[in-house]
Structure 1
Amino acid sequence: MIDLSYDFIVTLQNEVLRRFGVNQLIPGHCKPLSEAILEVTGKLISETTLKRFFGFAIAQHSFSRFTLNVLAQYCQYKDWDDFQAHYYRRTASTDTSEHPASQEKWIEIRAKANAVSHYTLLTLKNRSGIPFLSTVPRQYCLSHTERFLESDCVASVFIAPSGWGKSLALVHTAEHFWLGKDALYKKDICWFIHAHAAGNLLLKGFSLASWLDNQLHLNQGETFRDYFEQYFGEKGGRLILIIDGFDEIALGADKLKLLYTKLEDFVYANGLHRWLKVILSIRSSTWGEVFQQAQQYPAFRRYWYLGQEMDEECNINIPQLTEQDVKTVLYNCKFEPATVRTFSDGFLQKLKHPYYLQLFCQLNDSPEQTFIDENLSLFEITSRFIQNRVFNSSSNSFKIQIIYKLLDLLDMGRNGQYADKSVLLNKNAELFPAYKELIADNILVEENLSQEIMFHVKVRFAHNFLLEYFTAMHFILENNMQISEEMLQKVVNYFPQSPFRIAVFKWLLRYAITQQNVVAIQQIFVLPLMVVEKANLLEYLVLHYQHEDNKHTMLKNIFPPEYFRKHPISSFISDDFVHFKKRKVLNSLMGLAEASDDKLKIKSNLFVMALIQLDAEQCEIELNNIKKICSAEPTMSEQWITPYEAFLFIYEYLKFGIRNKEIEDKVYSYARKWSFAAGKPFTVPDEIVYRAMCYIFLILGDDAQMLHFTQRLFQHYPSILFSKTDPFRLMMLCWKAQAHLNTGNLDAAKRISSHVEKILKQYYSADFFNAKLVDILHKIIYAEICFQEKDYSKAIRISEMAMDSAQRLDFKLFSLKNFATLHKIYQQLEMEKQKRDALQKVEIIREGTTFKQAVVYLVGIA
């Protein structure tokens, strides 16, 4: 542990760096530096000692005189005393020449404090998982500190779980207010130390007051209180004491309680002094075990400032990173803004946890590493997190025992998310240390629901994806680390269709991939899963192999010739794949497709994607591909209208304003030409045509025909009604709701809209991008319903949400459709500025597409 009396540690570090010839040291430099020191001095300082000296690891003990002497000799001084004497004389000379004698003591004290504080800053910066220059100050922490400084409280704390970024938040805070180049309060003296340093002193018998007296070298009988009281009255300078790292696990419970007791005595003894402020960083688990007990005293709240965001149940008073914080860090880590804009809300939400953001940046920290798809990244982040916090722990067996007991109590999530702490631990004392680590490391979370008459603490996994991971691992362990058909079927039967079941199967699929178990992968894809589940699994598989050099060969090995004839790709992909992030996946699947239906389904999705993005040139490319597929398949000519003809009508109408009369007649003759057979499912070409016809009625503005068409569709294909999560069914329901709305049947539209909203909330998750197309269309329709019911505030909120989603996903066609509703709302509410801004966005879309007629037909602006 560093001796706080060493005032020139940072100066010695800088001298060593200058002598070594580098401006900034990295861990990789420590070995050659050790060799350079040996060559100059003939004495060996180990690589490990140098890492501690330069702050790449916590120094648990004082630097030996031998270490300091050798480093001083490397810098061409006689020894450490000679080094200190040289710089003390130079500093003293400068200070006395620039400052009056009355300030010499203050300058000397500040120099001591700065030396210690800068060493602490350097240590914490070097230990940052993300390069410190890429991190950002958290505005909430700065505001929290500002409010604390303005209050009458003596002490404040940053309380959060491990990995929350508390230490870096303190570094940014200390630099912002006291230790930075442009610090706000340069008159203050700031001592920034680690809890290990403070603990070592206090455990030797020092009190904080006696330590400060010792550091100040005051006149006999004078105390630090006398000195600061006088100086604060004359100059306004305060004493700021920052202590980082109150960690029960690292320090030990007994030591920490003693340290807290002495700290508490110090705070209460100096509670009336306006010149003293103490700031700590504390893990939530430590706060709950040690500090929170003090809240029973009435004085606690008078002396301690906990902030506006204090969550008493979870013991957290620092919110996670903001979305802008996350994006700034990603930009600083050289992520392209265009890439960051593609991140989903769900993924950005997870990156708000500083430790997950750190792991994600580390996944992409090498020049040759391209961006890892967020769907894959989430699983890699989770895997690394669990590896670091559970499996690499010395108490891993106890941790795993606790985790699987919790899984048992939760019945793998079927009994909810919470279990009683008393039942989980069952008075098993040998589990307590491992349990405390799981809480401290944010694997598990306690929520204190205790009341005056009963003690009641619930435990849950900190994040749902941890529950998903351990659930999948439970089934693998139960099956002797193997994936079998019987085990997979058990998982299917154990859980209902849900995003949770999809995630569990993704972990099983990932395990099969890492084990190179081709048979297991094939077995997963023939399970009786819903289309949306198979789509997500297939996407994950393709994305995984897209990051491999021989990706196509690997996929061919998994899906050999004829495989997709037995298990058509068209049964896996749906409207969920109409998303710009899916284009690479669809193109990879095209290389595996053998049946014409599969090729047609893939190319049709790519056409619809280009259509919604109003990319006329890409639409033309995909249209030509669809024409070739239709021409090569004789059965296509037997249809009353082919997918090529339906898409051709849309393309010509939006591009040139031409209504192909022959194709239009075919479209409107569906009622006569449809050949329905009771119970017969429609084919892939049928589904493509039906989807295309809805877009035709949309751009033609024919709501009556849209209503009639969707009614007939559900009437003659009743099986669709039973596939309630099928994106095709949900899309058709949305078109039907819109047709009802525009033909005056508000109640029917509202009823269908409520049903779709219920399905989206119950079955779809932001983690997997599911039903984005349906979700945006539903919001557009729902906003129009609210408008017709004269609930304008809700209508504008929903419509603007739809516009934001459509713009981020580049769904220009839906942006234009939504503008028609938004324009009416702005006009009704006389919001002229917003209306002008929206018109500018429409103009940008018009200028960015050669589908010039789209604005005319969808918005009504020539």
Structure 2
Amino acid sequence: MIDLSYDLIITLQSEVLRQFGVENIQPNQCKHLAQAILNHTGKLVSETTLKRVFGFAVTQHSFSRYTLNTLAQFCRFRDWEEFQTHFYKKTFRPQSEDDQSKWADIRKRAAAVSHYTMLTLKNRSGVPFENTAPRQYCLSHIEKFLESSYAATVFIAPAGWGKSLALVHAAEHYWFGRDPVYQNDVCWFINAHAAGSLLLKGFSLSAWLDNQLSLGNGDNFREYFSTHASEKGGRLVLIIDGFDEIALGADKLKLLYNKLEDFVYSNDQHPWVKVILSIRSSTWGEVFHQSHQYPSFRKYWYLGPEMDEDTNTNIPLLTEQEVKSVLYNFDFDPSTVRLFSDSFLQKLRHPYYLQLFTQLNATPGQPFIDENLSLYEVISRFIQNRVFSSPANSFKVRIIDKMLQLLDMGRAGLYTDKCTLLNKNADLFPAYKELLADNILVEENLSQEIMFNVKVRFAHNFLLEYFTAMHFLAEQEQNVSEPLLRHVLDYFPQSPFRVAVFKWLLRYAITRQQAENIRHFFQLPLATQEKAHLLEYVVLHYQQESTQQLPLSAIFPPGYFQKNPFSQFINDDFISFKKRKMLNALLGMAESAEDKLQVRSTLFFMALMQLDAEQCEIELANIKKLCARNEIIGEMWISPYEVFLFVYEYLKFGQVDGKMKEKIYNYAQYWNFTPQKAITVGEGAVYRGICLVFLTLGDYQQLLLFTRRLFEQYPGILFNRADPFHLMVLCWKAQAHVSTGDLPSAKRICRHVENVLRHYSSDFFNGRHIDTLQKTIAAQIHYHEKDFHKAIRLAESAMDMAQRLDFKIFALLNYSVLNRIYHQLQMEKQGKDTQRKMILIRESTSFKQAVPAFEQI
């Protein structure tokens, strides 16, 4: 029978490959196989048809008799009928007595069909199937459905969400794996295209199942096994993958849905018959959504706990652990994966972005591409594949341009009205549906009984950022000119959004080797943090692109940083080991003493936070040479080297240089307390060092006094809310308040810092050390307030970040808080574990005074 079953296709595949002389076949070999078939049979089977036979392309209908006869003849048989006769008894008539039943026979048939469908889906996977990970939510969803009284369930999500692969993993887990959970069930896994080709010709699912019984007397499948319950081994599960309005057409899909609905509702007396579907969100909204308000629909269909009625999605994104499992399957170094930022992992939870990321980084011998660069490459490829490579690209671009106008590039909000967007323009409807299906746009149905209200937004904010940048480029004829950058600068306020738009424009200039235009970015009156982000992107890009025609020296020629020192915007956000590679690259380009000191002092602080005494010693030697120059010290009463050396010697040997201590403590004698405009590089390094001196010595009263006077001396710091140096000093001030017993003041400062960090997002502050410090201090506040549960939660969150950053000083601060909490709660086991970890830190560093110094905070 040549219909949905493809009864012996798997056997036919094996025989064709055996005749061709290979065990496995790749898509590029189908052309050679077609020639071999032509040479042997004198008949032509196209390369495309062979790709469908071996599961490399979508099968939208049954294979023709011509194709099957030709392949059978290639295998030395007269035709397809003789092939079936030869293999049928061997394949479908097992010899064991237990397997003589009709149920076992049907299970064999279903397995042949399902294996072919699963093979097709595996071959079409954008990620090698063996590297993918089962979706635990999907497995749980199916488990709950199978054990329920519902007749049907469905996975609803946009294209690229991993619905099909989730079904393949589920099918292997429950029915076709080495040790299946439900090995007596009959599972029929078919493609919606194949089902549609038959059902649209007048077949029904009921009639098709009846035909599978093969009794020859017209018995009804469901009634037969309901009557002969002893012959039924388990459930009959029908999985139909790929309901797609765009591929099948709306009218055909509605007819197909009506037939499917009739079948589902007719199973009321046969609860052992179950149906599982996968469908795109846009198709669900157009075809299925119309009926799901009726009581009968809710009675029969299980949608799961994650169903979002506004966006028509019931599958959550990948979990962080599932993302990591896929990356480990691609042989990513676990130490590299553990260091991914939270914001980057959040984006990789989208299966299609994860697929593109692995493709981008999976080339043998290719080192890992920085996550910052990778994100922009992934988004660019995603948009290229889903928008610009589409046959309807011109219509899609028209819709997106209209979206941008209605949103005023995001200044008017993130949502617009669907009716206003399309404006009854029928020409745009097909392209609009594709944008929804491909997860470029998302509909949120807020309609009520008396009002139609459907809002549309970009699926992700970074899509809005990308298209906004491209819109400005189009207005300037694809030239990243200075007027264009000024226009963007004036159009948007300082924000992570503006930085992202500038990054897209910068990427455009880099990929087109527009060196002069790249330099325009750094001549803009941007905020310090914004310039830091842009400079980092440029340096990282040219470090990775070894084949670039333009070297980094062509972008920033000798003398450039002498006139435009980067120390003005390399700030405390670069205190992260992830930045070390970039900082070393900048060090090679640094020409002024200030630039070199800025990088060296940042590297020293990083080494100090990691309690790496040996690296601190190396940086101190370099800083000493820089401080020998008078222009670095200027009119300062103390040099950065002297302050750093004081901290180093105290932590290393427990020694206190009395003369240097007196010099540090008498800072007020050298301040005239006339408000100053800005802090120089040398002054900034000294003030950071002095904060650390007071912290390590445990002199919190002096720390409080110093931070207060620092803000009086430099009031301009207070007006730059997002400056990392400002936030770090605020955190140390809060720490001083906690240690001196002024909890209300500490709480107020801590809450302010938290609000700033939340407002500017983790994409803006990618160093994360300030976030870690704020949570550590907040945990101390909750401890003193006897709110131990909140204290533990915040301390553990801070601990996770500290471990990712490898900042042992922050880890010690957290262990100190946790140790006191565990002692208070008499949690001896946790307390001993904490003390053991503190001992491990002590043993890992030659800074022997470090643990006592920070344990007492």
TM-score over 0.5 (shorter chain): yes
8 Å Cα contact 1:228-1:239 kept in structure 2: no
Residue equivalent to 2:583: 586
* 3-state SS in 1 of match to 2:831: helix
Query: What letter is aligned with 2:521?
Result: I
User: In 2, distance between residues paired with 1:824 and 1:777?
Assistant: 18
* 3-state SS in 2 of match to 1:296: coil
Query: What letter is aligned with 1:130?
Result: V
Query: What letter is aligned with 1:411?
Result: D
Instruction: Work out whether 1:483 is the aligned partner of 2:472.
Output: no
CA drift of 1:127 comes to 0.5
After superposition, the C-alpha distances for 1:790-846 in whole angstroms (9 at most, x for unaligned) are: 222222211111111111111111111122222222222222222222222212222
CA drift of 1:860 comes to 4.8
Instruction: Work out whether 1:138 is the aligned partner of 2:164.
Output: no
User: In 2, distance between residues paired with 1:152 and 1:40?
Assistant: 54
After the TM superposition, which residues 209-220 of structure 1 pair with which residues of structure 2 at under 5 Å, given as runs? 209-220=206-217
Query: What letter is aligned with 2:90?
Result: R
Instruction: Work out whether 1:851 is the aligned partner of 2:827.
Output: no
CA drift of 1:5 comes to 4.3
Residue equivalent to 2:149: 152
Instruction: Work out whether 1:291 is the aligned partner of 2:288.
Output: yes
User: In 2, distance between residues paired with 1:232 and 1:482?
Assistant: 74
Residue equivalent to 1:86: 86
User: In 2, distance between residues paired with 1:728 and 1:237?
Assistant: 66
Query: What letter is aligned with 2:83?
Result: F
CA drift of 1:626 comes to 1.2
CA drift of 1:114 comes to 1.4
Instruction: Work out whether 1:63 is the aligned partner of 2:63.
Output: yes
CA drift of 1:632 comes to 4.3
User: In 1, distance between residues paired with 2:708 and 2:439?
Assistant: 52
User: In 1, distance between residues paired with 2:5 and 2:192?
Assistant: 16
Residue equivalent to 1:748: 745
After the TM superposition, which residues 243-392 of structure 1 pair with which residues of structure 2 at under 5 Å, given as runs? 243-392=240-389
Residue equivalent to 2:97: 99
User: In 2, distance between residues paired with 1:832 and 1:227?
Assistant: 65
* 3-state SS in 2 of match to 1:417: coil
CA drift of 1:693 comes to 0.9
Instruction: Work out whether 1:45 is the aligned partner of 2:45.
Output: yes
Instruction: Work out whether 1:820 is the aligned partner of 2:816.
Output: yes
User: In 2, distance between residues paired with 1:58 and 1:70?
Assistant: 21
After the TM superposition, which residues 704-743 of structure 1 pair with which residues of structure 2 at under 5 Å, given as runs? 704-743=701-740
Indicate how the Cα distance of structure 1 residues 652 and 41 shifts in structure 2: closer, same or farther if over 3 A, else same. farther
Aligned residues: 857
Residue equivalent to 1:656: 653
User: In 2, distance between residues paired with 1:637 and 1:454?
Assistant: 71
Indicate how the Cα distance of structure 1 residues 232 and 577 shifts in structure 2: closer, same or farther if over 3 A, else same. farther
Residue equivalent to 2:238: 241
Query: Which of 101, 105, 121 is matched with 1:124 structurally?
Result: 121
Residue equivalent to 1:596: 593
User: In 2, distance between residues paired with 1:5 and 1:818?
Assistant: 62
CA drift of 1:170 comes to 0.8
User: In 2, distance between residues paired with 1:826 and 1:604?
Assistant: 37
Indicate how the Cα distance of structure 1 residues 673 and 553 shifts in structure 2: closer, same or farther if over 3 A, else same. farther
User: In 2, distance between residues paired with 1:806 and 1:322?
Assistant: 22
User: In 2, distance between residues paired with 1:127 and 1:594?
Assistant: 53
Structure 1 unpaired stretches of 5+: none
* 3-state SS in 2 of match to 1:343: coil
Residue equivalent to 2:3: 3
Residue equivalent to 1:842: 838
After superposition, the C-alpha distances for 1:310-345 in whole angstroms (9 at most, x for unaligned) are: 111111111111111000010001111011011011
User: In 2, distance between residues paired with 1:152 and 1:616?
Assistant: 65
Indicate how the Cα distance of structure 1 residues 830 and 22 shifts in structure 2: closer, same or farther if over 3 A, else same. farther
8 Å Cα contact 2:103-2:233 kept in structure 1: no
CA drift of 1:260 comes to 0.2
CA drift of 1:140 comes to 1.0
* 3-state SS in 2 of match to 1:318: coil
Residue equivalent to 2:805: 809
User: In 2, distance between residues paired with 1:650 and 1:44?
Assistant: 81
Residue equivalent to 1:767: 763
* 3-state SS in 2 of match to 1:836: helix
Indicate how the Cα distance of structure 1 residues 169 and 285 shifts in structure 2: closer, same or farther if over 3 A, else same. same
Query: Which of 555, 562, 566 is matched with 2:563 structurally?
Result: 566
CA drift of 1:567 comes to 1.4
After superposition, the C-alpha distances for 1:724-771 in whole angstroms (9 at most, x for unaligned) are: 2111111111111111221122222222222212211112x2234435
291-300 or 145-154, which deviates more:
291-300
User: In 1, distance between residues paired with 2:70 and 2:351?
Assistant: 39
Instruction: Work out whether 1:199 is the aligned partner of 2:196.
Output: yes
After the TM superposition, which residues 170-209 of structure 1 pair with which residues of structure 2 at under 5 Å, given as runs? 170-209=167-206
After superposition, the C-alpha distances for 1:554-612 in whole angstroms (9 at most, x for unaligned) are: 21111112211221110121111011110010011111110000001001101111110
379-388 or 181-190, which deviates more:
181-190
8 Å Cα contact 1:160-1:315 kept in structure 2: yes
CA drift of 1:38 comes to 4.5
User: In 1, distance between residues paired with 2:550 and 2:636?
Assistant: 37
Query: What letter is aligned with 2:290?
Result: Q
* 3-state SS in 2 of match to 1:295: coil
Indicate how the Cα distance of structure 1 residues 221 and 89 shifts in structure 2: closer, same or farther if over 3 A, else same. closer
8 Å Cα contact 1:232-1:238 kept in structure 2: no
8 Å Cα contact 2:200-2:252 kept in structure 1: yes
User: In 1, distance between residues paired with 2:752 and 2:856?
Assistant: 30
Residue equivalent to 1:779: 775
* 3-state SS in 1 of match to 2:217: coil
Residue equivalent to 2:795: 799
8 Å Cα contact 2:539-2:582 kept in structure 1: yes
Residue equivalent to 2:663: 666
Indicate how the Cα distance of structure 1 residues 506 and 150 shifts in structure 2: closer, same or farther if over 3 A, else same. same
After the TM superposition, which residues 607-618 of structure 1 pair with which residues of structure 2 at under 5 Å, given as runs? 607-618=604-615
Residue equivalent to 1:433: 430
Indicate how the Cα distance of structure 1 residues 43 and 619 shifts in structure 2: closer, same or farther if over 3 A, else same. farther
Residue equivalent to 1:833: 829
Instruction: Work out whether 1:393 is the aligned partner of 2:390.
Output: yes
8 Å Cα contact 1:2-1:61 kept in structure 2: no
CA drift of 1:540 comes to 0.7
* 3-state SS in 2 of match to 1:141: helix
Indicate how the Cα distance of structure 1 residues 78 and 520 shifts in structure 2: closer, same or farther if over 3 A, else same. same
After the TM superposition, which residues 378-527 of structure 1 pair with which residues of structure 2 at under 5 Å, given as runs? 378-527=375-524
Aligned residues: percent identity?
Answer: 65
8 Å Cα contact 2:594-2:632 kept in structure 1: no
Structure 2 unpaired stretches of 5+: none
Indicate how the Cα distance of structure 1 residues 511 and 491 shifts in structure 2: closer, same or farther if over 3 A, else same. same
197-206 or 553-562, which deviates more:
553-562
8 Å Cα contact 1:7-1:111 kept in structure 2: no
800-809 or 458-467, which deviates more:
800-809
Indicate how the Cα distance of structure 1 residues 2 and 626 shifts in structure 2: closer, same or farther if over 3 A, else same. farther
8 Å Cα contact 2:466-2:501 kept in structure 1: yes
After the TM superposition, which residues 690-701 of structure 1 pair with which residues of structure 2 at under 5 Å, given as runs? 690-701=687-698
248-257 or 724-733, which deviates more:
724-733
Query: What letter is aligned with 1:27?
Result: P
After superposition, the C-alpha distances for 1:425-476 in whole angstroms (9 at most, x for unaligned) are: 1111111111111111111111111122211111111001001101111111
Instruction: Work out whether 1:530 is the aligned partner of 2:566.
Output: no
Indicate how the Cα distance of structure 1 residues 553 and 842 shifts in structure 2: closer, same or farther if over 3 A, else same. farther
After superposition, the C-alpha distances for 1:697-723 in whole angstroms (9 at most, x for unaligned) are: 111111011111111111111111122
User: In 2, distance between residues paired with 1:493 and 1:92?
Assistant: 73
CA drift of 1:621 comes to 1.3
Query: Which of 616, 623, 633 is matched with 1:626 structurally?
Result: 623
CA drift of 1:297 comes to 2.4
**TM-score of the two chains, using structure 1 as the length reference:** 0.96
* 3-state SS in 2 of match to 1:411: helix
Indicate how the Cα distance of structure 1 residues 349 and 230 shifts in structure 2: closer, same or farther if over 3 A, else same. same
8 Å Cα contact 2:446-2:453 kept in structure 1: yes
